[in-house]
Amino acid sequence: MKICVCIKQVPDSWSQKQLDPESLNLDRNAADRVISDGDVFAIEEAVRKAEQFDGEVTVVSMGPSRAVDSLRKALALGANHAALITDEGLAGADALATSLVLASYLKSRDFDLVLFGSASTDAGMGVIPSMVGTRLKVPTLTMALSLEIEAGIARVQRISGSGTDELSAPLPVVVSVTDKTNTPRLPNFKAIMASKKAEIEEISLADLGLTPNLESFTKVHSQTLRPPRSAGRIVDEAGALSALEDFLIAEKFI
Amino acid sequence: MRNILVLAEPTELAWSKATLGLVSLASGLGDVSVALCSVVSDELLEELAQRGASAIYLNTNEKIYNHGNSAKADFLIELITSHEPDAVLLETSVDNKEIAGRVAVLSNSGVLTDISALEFDQSEKLIARQEIFGGFSTVISSVSTGVTIVTVHPSDPGVESKQKDLKVVEVFTNFADSTKALTVKMGPRTETSSRPKLTEAKIVIGAGRGVGNQENFKNSVEGLADALGAAIGATQAVIDLQLCPSDLLVGQSGATVSPDLYFALGISGAIHHLAGMQSARCVVAIDIDENAPMLHNADLGIVGDVGEIVPKLIEVLNNRK
């Protein structure tokens, strides 16, 4: 079974994020960079399925050259191969352009299973898995609580409104997982050392047969940062009840 | 006249505030058509007409619920191809973002998610206000190619009578092969809470680590929510303690709420939680730690024990009724 995990290197979710004031693209220098939280569960699920079906896991990321750090981490977590799609033409790519690049790569490699984490912690649009599945013309099973594969059929449990549904489709499929899907393992020392020396394939837009000027379908015109909430009144426990009641009355909540 | 297509979630009882808000938003932009996946009552159709809808496209392929979000996207693509709307509006949700993504690819159009406002500028271009990074930043964006596809967090402006004559057109969509390859087996539905929906509530009680245990959660969080008619939200810590289900998560990985009042109980105020609630109009916070960032993000901050203060407050509130 050929499995691919698409990961994204993002600013740390504890840090404050912003757009670069000049380009209005995400300012990736302004914050620490880690693998998007949800992607770690996708890597783990890929490695588990590879163990179960004697398969191979490739991890791919699209981004600047420093994204190799995240790819090495994915290798340490058990992926077999890593590829970085990097090109000057990718700067500021929107969701539609990103999905085109990923789908072009995935098409050229004939994967049985493509895994994504849940929405990235930076842009967080949550549209990429469905866009990639649509471009590959394969079913997309999203927000999996669990993923089972049996006799070439993928089955996913998924929360939907007030219940849980079961989605199933024959391979190849695109699946996005959640933090409920599994408990990721920690990398061991040997794997970390090996990942540092591993070869990472670099791929350009031309390698994928794409033009260097990717069309973005959306445009950001301006940004305004929300002013921080200013602190109001601080009251200790003794004055709490009357302060609370007065506030709720003054603001007409009661 | 511009044509705006809205996807409405069918219902047996009443439209969600989001659906009504979307139709009202659309009627301020142009001629409104509503895509409906299944039949609703005449009363409910009438309510859409009052909001300014002039056409209903009613899906008649009853397999639409058997093939997941792809099937709804294929239905929208059929309508986009035959009616060429200028914009397609969907309520912001995990499912609708998935639908919007597929529709964007198949119609070769740009998509914007988490829109809070949409209007035509002087050059007749649709301009969207978009909250990003959990609301820390607001950007003005537009779609430069194709149909403008947006998922919206609408507010409900209420009914302004824009009564239109409503025509209902039946549409049969043939789903794509990859759509038909996916089958959905619906599981049993649990009883829904009697509390207002988290993302639509005027008041949200936020529960944090400082709530501590099941007893405090019941007495303080649920008790205060009942006394104020509020929804309940929670931080990751509270969900990890299994005090409430994970769909109540507020913050970067969960829901974004902007109620009139966010009542934070025992929440220290980590940035990934603030990201989900900082556009609330008012914030009241109770926390034992006087240095908790949440207290300094609040209009009223109380330094004290949630388990001590809140039950007394509930008593005060109940005595007022």
Domain assignment present for A148:
yes
Q: Is A35 inside any structural domain?
A: yes
Cα separation, B205 vs B211, whole angstroms: 12
The pLDDT assigned to A31 comes to 52
pLDDT at A26 > cutoff 90: no
Residue B295 touches chain A, beta carbons under 8 Å:
yes
Q: Is the confidence at residue A179, as pLDDT, over 80? A: yes
Is residue A239 assigned to a domain?
Answer: no
Q: What is the pLDDT of residue A121?
A: 53
Q: A99, B102: Cβ pair inside 8 Å?
A: no
| pLDDT (0 to 100) of residue B234 | 96
**Average pLDDT in chain A:** 88
Please report the beta strands in B174-299, taking only residues with DSSP state E, as ranges in sequence order.
183-185, 203-207, 231-234, 261-265, 282-287
Residue A202 reports pLDDT greater than 90: yes
Q: Which A positions 146-205 lie with beta carbon below 8 A of chain B?
A: 159-170, 179-180
Is the confidence at residue B287, as pLDDT, over 90?
A: yes
pLDDT of residue A225: 82
Mean pLDDT of B265-272: 91
pLDDT at residue A247 tops 60? yes
Average pLDDT of span A28-47:
80
Percentage of the residues of chain B whose pLDDT score is greater than 70: 97
In angstroms, the CA A154 to CA A140 distance is 10
Q: Which residue has the higher pLDDT, B126 or B271?
A: B126
Position B134 confidence tier, pLDDT thresholds 50, 70, 90: low
Residue-range definition of the domain harbouring residue A139: 2-220
Mean pLDDT computed over B77-82: 97
Amino acid A120: pLDDT? 58
Q: ipTM score of the complex?
A: 0.87
Whether B289 contacts chain A with CB within 8 A = no
Q: Which residues of B touch A141 (CB under 8 A)?
A: 68, 182
> Which residues in chain B have their CB less than 8 angstroms from residue A163's CB?
186-190
Six token digits for residue B192: 């829904």
Contacting A residues, span 197-226, partner chain B, CB-CB under 8 Å:
215-226
Joined tokens for residue A143: 């927000």
In this model, does residue A133 exceed pLDDT 70? yes
Question: What pLDDT digit, counting tens, does each position of B159-190 carry?
Answer: 776 777 899 999 999 999 999 999 999 888 77
Average pLDDT over every residue of A2-21: 75
Per residue in B87-122, pLDDT tens? 999 998 889 999 999 999 999 999 999 898 999 999
CA-nearest of B203, B311, B224, B210 to B267 is: B210
Q: Calculate the CA A98 to chain-centre distance.
A: 12
Alpha carbon distance B3, B1 (integer Å):
7
Examine residue A243 and state whether it is found in any structural domain, yes or no.
no
Q: Which residues of B touch A23 (CB under 8 A)?
A: none
**pLDDT at position A108, please?**
92
* Mean pLDDT to the nearest integer, A131-136: 97
Architecture of domain B3-180: 3-Layer(aba) Sandwich (3.40)
Q: How far apart are CA A4 and CA A113, in angstroms?
A: 6
- What pLDDT is attached to residue B12? 82
What's the mean pLDDT when you consider all of chain B? 91
- CATH number, domain at A8? 3.40.50.620
Q: Report residue B130's pLDDT band, with 50, 70 and 90 as the boundaries.
A: confident
* C-alpha distance from A252 to closest chain B C-alpha (Å): 10
Mean pLDDT confidence for B216-233: 96
Domain presence at residue A102: yes
Nearest CA in chain A to B259: A253
Contact criterion met (CB < 8 Å) for A121 and B295: no
- Confidence band of A16 (pLDDT split at 50, 70, 90): low
Q: Which residues, other chains included, contact A67 with Cβ-Cβ below 8 Å and sequence gap of 6+? A: A9, A33, A61, A84, A86
Say if A231 falls within a structural domain: no
- Confidence band of B13 (pLDDT split at 50, 70, 90): confident
Q: Cβ–Cβ of A139/B253 closer than 8 Å?
A: no
CB-based contact, A145 to chain B, within 8 Å: no
User: What pLDDT does A85 receive?
Assistant: 96
pLDDT at A161: 67
Residues B114, B190, B272: CA angle, nearest 5 degrees: 35
> How much is the pLDDT for A12?
59
Residue B189 sits at the chain A interface (C-beta within 8 Å): yes
- Report the range of poorest mean pLDDT among A7-11, B40-44, B123-127, B304-308: A7-11
Mean pLDDT of the region B65-76: 96
User: Would you say residue A13 has pLDDT above 60?
Assistant: no
**CB interface of A with B, residues 62-91, below 8 Å:** none
List the domain boundaries for chain B: 3-180, 203-320
Report the range of poorest mean pLDDT among A120-129, B235-244, B262-271, B285-294. A120-129
**Angstroms from A199 CA to nearest CA on chain B:** 33
The pLDDT tens digits of the residues spanning A90-124 come to 988 889 999 999 999 999 999 999 999 986 555 55
Contact of B190 with chain A, judged by CB distance below 8 Å, is answered with: yes
Note whether A233 contacts B301, CB cutoff 8 Å: yes
Quick one: average pLDDT of A162-185?
91
Question: Is there a common fold for B3-180 and B203-320?
Answer: yes
Average of pLDDT values for A150-179? 91
Residue B127: pLDDT band (50, 70, 90) is very high
Query: Is the pLDDT score of A28 beyond 60?
Result: no
How many CB atoms neighbour CB B191 within 10 A? 6
Number of domains, chain A: 1
* B136–A253 CB contact, under 8 Å: no
CATH code at B203-320: 3.40.50.1220
